[in-house]
Structure 1
Amino acid sequence: MSGSVNGHEDPADQPPWAMQLALRVEKNAPPTHLAVCEAAAMAAVTLLADPRSAPGGEWHEAVAAWESRRIRKVVRRARGARWEALGALPGVLVDHEGAPARAFVPGPVTEVAPEIARLQVGGTDLEREEEPKPPPAPPYALIGLNPGVPMTTGKAAAQCGHAAHLLLRARGAWPGLRVRVVEADEWSRTVAEADVVVRDGGFTEVAPGTMTAVARLVV
């Protein structure tokens, strides 16, 4: 789970809200680390850019209420029948480089659908890629993960979701909503050119205020 990066606080008398994200991780064919991070980020912004999240849309009230609080994102994993059961819930699906990810309409953490609540939250850590991938055609969001901050795949995916989310709100939606995530080799340059910076709320894995990710729009 990852906490506030937008400067907002949760109302003291109400439960926190979160966007739930689910990753498909099959035992016999698990996706890779960066593919999952990219898929999670793309799923988050795909939901936010969906017409149903805009004013007048059926998801708008929930999205607006969530964005007025800490924009928590909870990353879970599923496989088999439990993954298939998620298809009936309100949200979006992104299938990116063999790493399917779903983002669900935000809501109180006390009211998570049973199909989501039963999914594992912690311990998602996947194989790292050996070679960097070529970038997609512009425009795309370039997200840099801080190589000095060890994070599981699940944690890193949440940070990438935050980075893409902040970039969407700062720069507007970009055609295709494509995302590329990089780590050590390009970190310094990515920081220098960043449009947005993610500083973690400190609920899991890292200290509060840690800079975990940055992002910029490549056009």
Structure 2
Amino acid sequence: MNTSILAPLAARYASWLALPADQTNRVETEPELVRAMPMILRIERDPVPGRTALLEAAASAALAVCLDPRAEPEGEWHDAVSAWVAGHIRKVSRRARGAHWQTAQGVPGVTVEVDGAEVRALVPGLVVETPKEISRLQISGSDLPEDEPGSIPDDVPVLWLNPDVPLTAGKAAAQVGHASMLLAALLDADDLKAWAETGYRCVVRMPSQAQWAELHPGQDPGGAWQDRRVIAVRDAGFTEVDPGTVTVIAQWRF
């Protein structure tokens, strides 16, 4: 397993959280140079997938692409994945159903299913070079009703969504994908191997405001990781939320 491909994330993590909110990772790039990972959410009319299950599938799928054997140094995905991770890990969530979902299976990537909900994370690349069969898929309209997931299993990482920041399912899918990648970037080889054996399974939950405040790494992200095994996703603010907003806190629980 090539874990070094995520090294740039580990190197940038603490510096991201130390930046003023309006500077957090918000680097304007020429449109023709913007790279992103397309996240294809399968949202059929019937049955409609559960929101939580869809987000859990998205988190696992995004990481699975990065740590796939094809992303290793001699693999066919390596250059694309490493160029993306070295820059800004933008993701674009799109929805698909029926024949469009089946067509997306032919584009390089990884599909993950959780409790009947499916997400396909595609190999990242230049946005201007997104295949037409993907670029025609709609970005809007990906919201789903809140649900009531069950209890949290033991020995599974938890991705906690900010209870004060409403997110569409598409935006939340991108954010939990960021969280799973950051978490993997900070893990040692043994922990990452153990997680890989579960298919990078994780759970997504909404904490109370009190829980969120207790989990938050505050001004010491390095210490929070060492002492409490939590990391935060701080958004650049390109869509839906203000720059510097912490959207997800990932908690390692193995």
Q: Normalized against structure 2, the TM-score is what?
A: 0.78
Shift of 1:122: 1.9
Is the 8 Å Cα contact of residues 163 and 212 (structure 2) preserved in structure 1? Answer: yes
Q: Is structure 2 residue 227 aligned with structure 1 residue 202?
A: no
* TM-score (ref. length: structure 1): 0.90
| 1:147 partnered with 2:157 | no
Contact kept? 1:162, 1:198, Cα under 8 Å: yes
**What is the aligned-residue RMSD (CA, Å)?**
2.1
Q: If each structure's helix is expressed as a fraction of its own residues, which one has the higher value?
A: 2
Post-superposition Cα deviations, 1:77-126, rounded to whole Å, max 9, x if no partner, equal: 10000000011111111011111100110000000011110111123110
Give the conservation status (yes or no) of the 8 Å contact 2:215–2:230: no
Residue 55 of structure 1 is aligned with which of 62, 73, 95? 73
Q: Distance between the aligned counterparts of 1:89 and 1:153, measured in 2?
A: 22
5 Å-filtered alignment, 1:1-219, equals 7=16, 9=27, 14-130=32-148, 132-138=149-155, 140-171=156-187, 173=192, 174=195, 175-176=197-198, 177-185=200-208, 186-191=211-216, 193-219=228-254
Amino acid in the other structure paired with 2:246: M
Deviation readout 1:102-154 (Å, 9 max, x if unpaired): 01100000000111101111231102113x3122342x221110010111111
Q: Please state how far the C-alpha of 1:190 moved relative to its aligned partner.
A: 3.6
| 1:184 alignment partner, SS class | coil
Answer whether contact 1:190 1:215 (CA < 8 A) is retained: no
Q: Provide the rounded CA distance (Å) in 2 between the counterparts of 1:60 and 1:169.
A: 16
Aligned length: 214
Aligned partner letter, 1:218: R
% same residue:
44
C-alpha separation between the residues in 2 aligned to 1:35 and 1:13? 33
**Aligned pair in 2 of structure 1 residues 36, 189: CA closer, same or farther (>3 Å)?**
farther
Contact 1:10–1:16 (CA under 8 A) maintained in structure 2: no
- Worse-matched range after superposition: 119-128 or 102-111: 119-128
| Of 178-187 and 195-204, the range deviating more from structure 2 | 178-187
Q: Secondary structure of 2:182's match?
A: helix
Q: Which runs of 5+ in 2 are unaligned?
A: 1-8, 17-24, 218-227
* Secondary structure of the corresponding residue to residue 38 of structure 2: strand
**2:216 counterpart letter in structure 1:** V
- Which ranges of 4 or more aligned residues in structure 1 deviate by more than 2 Å? 4-14, 134-137, 184-195
Deviations 1:59-84 (A, max 9, x none): 11111100111110111110000000
In the alignment, the residues of structure 2 paired with residue 84 and residue 118 of structure 1 have an alpha-carbon distance, to the nearest angstrom, of: 14
Q: Secondary structure at the match of 1:38?
A: helix
* Cα distance, 1:189 vs structure 2: 4.3
Q: Name the SS for the 1:88 alignment partner.
A: coil
Point out the structure with the larger strand share. Answer: 1
Q: Bigger shift: 112-121 or 183-192?
A: 183-192
Identify unmatched segments of 5+ residues in structure 1.
none
Does the 8 Å CA contact 2:232/2:249 hold for their aligned counterparts? yes
Q: Within 2, Cα distance between the matches of 1:93 and 1:136?
A: 23
